[in-house]
Amino acid sequence: MRTSPHLLVIAGITIMLLGCREGSMADKPEEIVAPDGMAYIPEGTFLMGGKSEWAEPDEFPRRKVGVSAFFMDRTEVTNARFAAFVEATGYVTTAERKIDWEEMSRQLPPGTPRPADSVLQPGSLVFRPTQGPVDLRDLSQWWAWTVGANWRHPEGPGSSLEGRMDHPVVHVSLEDAMAYAKWAGKRLPTEAEWEWAAIGGLDDPIYPWGNTPSEDAAGKANFWQGIFPFRNDTLDGYVRTAPVKTYPANGYGLFDMAGNVWEWCQDKYRADAYASELSPEEAFNPKGPRDFFDPGDPLAEKYVVRGGSYLCSDSYCSGYRVARRMRNTPDTGMGHVGFRCVQDIR
């Protein structure tokens, strides 16, 4: 089912690693071999949550959690890998399916008028830069519902994947990401796993690349340089997505844990999730809250996305911080949302 365009919407870290340091791959037991294209992420405990002047209320309070060792895709799932999945299964993504207005309307405020049939067509949300400064609280200023936009046509009809097969796939819903993960014999990461992996063995960093300020980090990740959403200075070399592995990997050998595209996690989103008391059992490998709640959009079910995208800047969302939480409705695809998978160590 589809959502409507209105839903646009330590000091003391304990790292249980073996000889991991900034810019290096973490050691792992000799008998453990990561699957092709994946990296070994060691077991560890850390303080999860906000740690800088850009931290948001939903990143507090910081709390100590632990995760078991696991494998994680070294890169975001690319168009080539997603195309192989579609070719093998015949899967049709959410953005390519007919919209069910009756189902959609249940998630909207009572009395929301039915959009025109010309709008209720398969499509997705595409970023359009504005002509100048706008109210950053109004996402509709730069997100346009675009009929015909999907993973094959990232900017809508007339666009294609030519020259972009090594870019991360976009316009994928949570359902799409989970379908791919199942086919690949993997799953989506928990929010705790994602943040632990993004830290990459560093000592409580603000960003996956460390603590270098974003204004000096254009060569470290794909994000917005300039004034969002109308002036992009493209100091990182890309206006939209970049090929995976363009920028340096973090300490665990993971690429694009900051920027490029937001990544789906399996946790439901609650703005107050970190304020809940965790039992000892829940503090290790936490799976997230049992229900969802976004006070700004209380009728909609939301799931966590992490890592920021090519649209993030400190003047807007600072989404490339390791602690930054964002959310999206599970049936919504956007031009800056993708995913990567993890796998349990058996």
Using 50, 70 and 90 to split pLDDT, how confident is the model at 3?
A: very low
Of 239 and 26, which is predicted with more confidence? 239
Helices 174-183 & 79-89 angle (0-180, nearest 10): 70
Q: Which domain holds residue 343?
A: 1-346
What's the confidence (pLDDT) of residue 235? 96
Identify the CATH number of the domain in which residue 136 sits.
3.90.1580.10
Mean of the pLDDT values across residues 280-303?
Answer: 93
Tell me: pLDDT of 306 over 50: yes
Are 38 and 73 within 8 A, CB to CB?
A: yes
Amino acid at position 289, single letter: P
Domain count across the chain: 1
pLDDT at 21 over 60: no
Tell me the pairing of strands 337-338 and 262-268: parallel
User: How many whole angstroms separate alpha carbon 37 and alpha carbon 287?
Assistant: 25
Tell me the per-residue pLDDT of 42-79, one tens digit each, with 9 for 90 and over.
999 999 999 999 999 999 999 999 999 999 999 999 99
The confidence score (pLDDT) of residue 151 equals 98
Closest CA to 199 of 18, 19, 68, 26: 26
Q: The pTM is what?
A: 0.89
Of the pLDDT bands very low, low, confident and very high (cuts 50, 70, 90), residue 22 is: very low
Predicted local distance difference test score (pLDDT) of residue 26: 52
Q: To the nearest 10°, the Cα dihedral for 262, 8, 226, 315?
A: -90
